[in-house]
Amino acid sequence: MHFEPLKGIKILDLTSVVVGPIVTWRLGQYGAEIIKVENPSGDLMRGLGGLSPTGQHSGTYLHLNRGKRNICLDLKTKGGKEICQRLVDSCDVIVANMRPDALARLGLDAETIRAKYPEKIYCMITGYGTDGPYSGLPTYDSVLQGASGIAGLTQMRDGKPAYVPMLICDHVVGEIAAGAVMAALMQRYKTGQGASLEIPMFETMAAFVLQEHLAQQSFDPPLGPAGDLRLLSPHNQPVRTKDGYISFTINTDAQVQAFLKITDREELLSDTRFSSIASRAKYVAEWFEIRGAALENKTTEAWLTIFRAADLPAMPCHTLETLTKDPHLKAVELLNFENHPSEGKTAVIRSTIRVDGRYPSARSGAVPNGWDTNEILYELGYSAEELKKLSIEKAVFSFTN
C-alpha cells in the first residue's frame, strides 16, 4: 500500500548521526523524496551504531536511513559547494543539524537561503538554540539527558543518576521536528510562504520533563515539592515473579480493587489510604510499596493470565532477546528481512502507522555512501564530462569510484 501525502516534496538532508536522520526518515515515510548529503568519511552512525559486514551500515544507520537517496560531496571544495547550492535550489525543505556557524560559513544557513528563497522551509535542529549562553556548544544525547533532568529523575528515585539506555532525546526531538516541518508545509500550502524552524533539543527535552514533573511546583505558591511521586517511587519498577518480571499499571479505583483481590490482599480493600485516587496520591509512598511487592509465588505467564482475566493492563517485561520473539509482534510482522546490496540479509522494521486498515509498504533500504551521486548530478544538469572533472577534483564521490 502507498501512503504518500508528501509525494512531490523534495527534502535536502544535511544531517547525520540520529536526531536529524529521524526527521527525514519520518518525512520519507510519508512519501517525500529525501536526498541525503554525506561527506567522504560518511555519517558517523555508519560505524558508531555497531558492527556490520562491511563496517559501513550499522543496524542503527540502516533503520534510520531507509528510503533516502545518497550523494557524497566534499563541501570544503568549490565544486562540492556549487552542487549543494543547486540541491538547495531544487528542494522544498532543508533539514540540518550541523553547528550554526559551520552552516553560515557554507552559505547553508536559514538566513542566507530564505533571503533568496522565501518559499522554502528550513529546519535546523540545535543542541541549545542560537540565543542563550549555551548556544553553539557541542552535545550528544547522553549530555542532554543529564542537562534536561532526565538522568536526575533516576537520582531522585534510586540515589544515583542514570541515562535511559537509548537515544531518547534524539528520537523525541526528531519526531517533533518532523511534525513542525509538516505544519510548515501546510502553512506554505495556504499562504505560499515558507518558514525558518529551529528546534533546540535542550529546551524541548527540559519542557518534556517539566510537563510531567513540575507537579506541585506548577502553582504559586507551590503546593509541595516538584516531581510526580508515583513515577519517582523506588517501587515503580517491573515486579519480580517466580521466573522473571511482569510490568503492570493500575490507576482507577476499580483496577486497584481488582488488583488487591487477585494478589490475596483483600484486607486492604477497607484501608482508607488506598480507597480513592485522592487518598492514594496522599499516601503514594505506602501505596507503591504495596503495588511493587514481589509476586514470586507464580510464574510470569500465570500472572499474565490472572491479570488479563481481571482486565488489568499487564505485559511481560521483555529483554532485547525476547522482544523480537513476542507473539504479537510476530503476528503483525513488525520485523522482516531483505537483501542489502552490500550487507547481505538485513532486518527491516516496517511502518507502525496503519492507514485505511493496512500498513504502508516499506521504502527502499539505506544505501552505501555515494550510491546515487551520478544520477543526482545528471538530474541537476551536470554532464558526464563535468561529473568526471568533479570526481578528479574530489568534490564528489560515487559508490562506483
Q: What pLDDT does 258 receive? A: 97
Residues 89 and 164 in one domain: yes
- Asked if 316 and 300 count as a contact pair (C-beta separation under 8 A), the reply is yes
Residues 183 and 127 in one domain: yes
Q: What pLDDT does 361 receive? A: 84
C-alpha closest to that of 204 among 229, 184, 174: 174
374 in any annotated domain: yes
The residue from 316, 340, 361 where one domain ends is 316
Mean pLDDT of 325-345: 96
CATH number at residue 31: 3.40.50.10540
100 in any annotated domain: yes
383 in any annotated domain: yes
DSSP for 32-57 reads -EEEEEE-TT--THHHHT---SSSS-
- Element of type H or E holding 210: helix 201-213
- Asked if 226 and 214 count as a contact pair (C-beta separation under 8 A), the reply is yes
335 in any annotated domain: no
Apex 67 CA angle, 66 and 73, nearest 5: 90
C-alpha closest to that of 186 among 9, 4, 3, 363: 9
Q: What pLDDT does 1 receive? A: 66
Q: Phi and psi of 162, rounded to 5°?
A: -155, 150
Residues 54 and 189 in one domain: yes
Structural domain tally of the chain? 2
Whether the per-residue pLDDT at 188 is higher than 50: the answer is: yes
Residues 19 and 66 in one domain: yes
Q: What pLDDT does 20 receive? A: 98
The residue from 316, 342, 372 where one domain ends is 316
Residues 248 and 392 in one domain: no
pLDDT tens sequence across 271-312: 999 999 999 999 999 999 999 999 999 999 999 999 999 999
Alpha-carbon distances, residue 162 vs 88, 145, 232, 309 (angstroms)? 41, 9, 13, 36
216 in any annotated domain: no
Measured distance CA(259)–CA(262) in Å, rounded: 5
Predicted confidence band of residue 242 (pLDDT cuts 50, 70, 90) = very high
pLDDT tens sequence across 218-234: 999 999 999 999 999 99
Residue type, 355: V
pLDDT tens sequence across 48-89: 999 999 999 999 999 999 999 999 999 999 999 999 999 999
> What does R_g of the chain's alpha carbons equal in angstroms?
25
pLDDT tens sequence across 56-67: 999 999 999 999
Instruction: Give the range of the structural domain holding residue 243, as residue numbers without chain letter.
Output: 239-316
Predicted confidence band of residue 2 (pLDDT cuts 50, 70, 90) = confident
Residue 271 grid coordinates: 484501608
Q: What pLDDT does 16 receive? A: 97
Residues 183 and 303 in one domain: no
Residues 304 and 372 in one domain: no
4 in any annotated domain: no
Residues 187 and 46 in one domain: yes
CATH number at residue 265: 3.30.1540.10
Q: What pLDDT does 401 receive? A: 47
302 in any annotated domain: yes
Mean pLDDT value across the chain:
96
- Asked if 148 and 202 count as a contact pair (C-beta separation under 8 A), the reply is yes
Mean pLDDT of 314-330: 97
Residue 157, classed as helix, strand or coil, is helix
Predicted confidence band of residue 109 (pLDDT cuts 50, 70, 90) = very high
Residues 19 and 167 in one domain: yes
Predicted confidence band of residue 362 (pLDDT cuts 50, 70, 90) = confident
Instruction: Check residue 371 and report its DSSP letter.
Output: T
Residues 64 and 198 in one domain: yes
Residues ≥6 apart with Cβ < 8 Å to 57 = 46, 340, 342, 343, 346, 366, 368
- Helix ranges restricted to H, 14-162: 19-29, 45-48, 59-64, 78-90, 100-105, 110-116, 141-147, 150-158
Compute the CA torsion angle 33, 36, 37, 41 (nearest 10 deg). -160
154 in any annotated domain: yes
What distance lies between CA 359 and its chain's CA centroid?
20
Residues 48 and 162 in one domain: yes
The residue from 316, 337, 365 where one domain ends is 316
Predicted confidence band of residue 330 (pLDDT cuts 50, 70, 90) = very high
Cis peptide before 221 (omega within 30 of 0): yes
Q: What pLDDT does 326 receive? A: 97
Instruction: Look up the pTM and report it.
Output: 0.94
CB atoms within 10 A of CB 323: 12
Residues 282 and 192 in one domain: no
